[in-house]
Amino acid sequence: MAGVGLFRKNVENFAVDVISDVNMMVDGQPVTVQNYSTQAGGQDAVSQGVELYAQHTLPFGLGVQFNYTYNDASKAAVRLEDGTEVGKTSMPGSAKNQTNLTMFYETDSLLLRASYNRRGELVQGLVNGLNVFEEPYYQVDLNAAYNITPRSASPPRC
């Protein structure tokens, strides 16, 4: 089995973590608060892309599953509650590329599975109007299970 999926989502509002230096008056004196952390609102972004997927299992239980997603997320203006624009960013947590690959062997009594997952770089938020990126992430998972009891057609009687 294989397939392709296209997607497009208009996102009117989304939260963005923002860190910036803020000038304010305290007891009539100007004060700069450094690294002030808050949230702001991203507005009118578009997330669109394509997903490719495939799965195949051979008659003796060996199989593979694959999934790849390409996400083109537009940059959007980010504004504080008072309307002040503090920068532009794509949607935080949205990677441009993501891949999952699983190979497995499965019988009535044995399951072996190895999975590889990779997520590309993504935006975490804004610091002084500039995008802060999170490094690409990958993970390998291994799983094994063995059924030590035989399967029966009906439950045991008491």
Break the chain into its structural domains and give their ranges: 2-23+33-146
More confident call, 98 vs 83: 98
Neighbours of 68 (CB within 10 A): 15
Q: 9: closest CA among 86, 72, 79, 95?
A: 72
Strand partners, 27: none
Residue of higher predicted confidence among 84 and 55: 55
pLDDT score of 20 more than 90: no
Kindly state the percentage of the chain with pLDDT values over 70. Answer: 95
Q: What is the mean pLDDT of residues 92-98?
A: 92
> Please, which pLDDT band fits residue 130 given cuts at 50, 70 and 90?
confident
Return the pLDDT at 83. Answer: 86
* pLDDT on residue 98: 97
Instruction: Give the number of C-alpha atoms closer than 13 A to the C-alpha of residue 80, restricted to the C-beta side.
Output: 14
Confidence of residue 151 (pLDDT cuts 50, 70, 90): low
The rounded distance, in Å, linking the Cα atoms of 122 and 50 is: 17
Distance, CA of 104 to CA of 68 (rounded, Å): 18
* Contact (CB, 8 A) for 155 and 123: no
Predicted pLDDT at 153: 57
In the structure encoding, which two tokens stand for residue 66, read together?
């694959």
Segment 55-76 shows an average pLDDT of 95
Q: Where are the beta strands (DSSP E) in 58-152?
A: 62-73, 76-79, 85-89, 97-106, 110-119, 122-127, 130-134, 137-146
Say whether pLDDT at 21 is over 90.
no
Residue 86: band (very low, low, confident or very high) from pLDDT cuts 50, 70, 90: confident
pLDDT averaged over the chain? Answer: 90
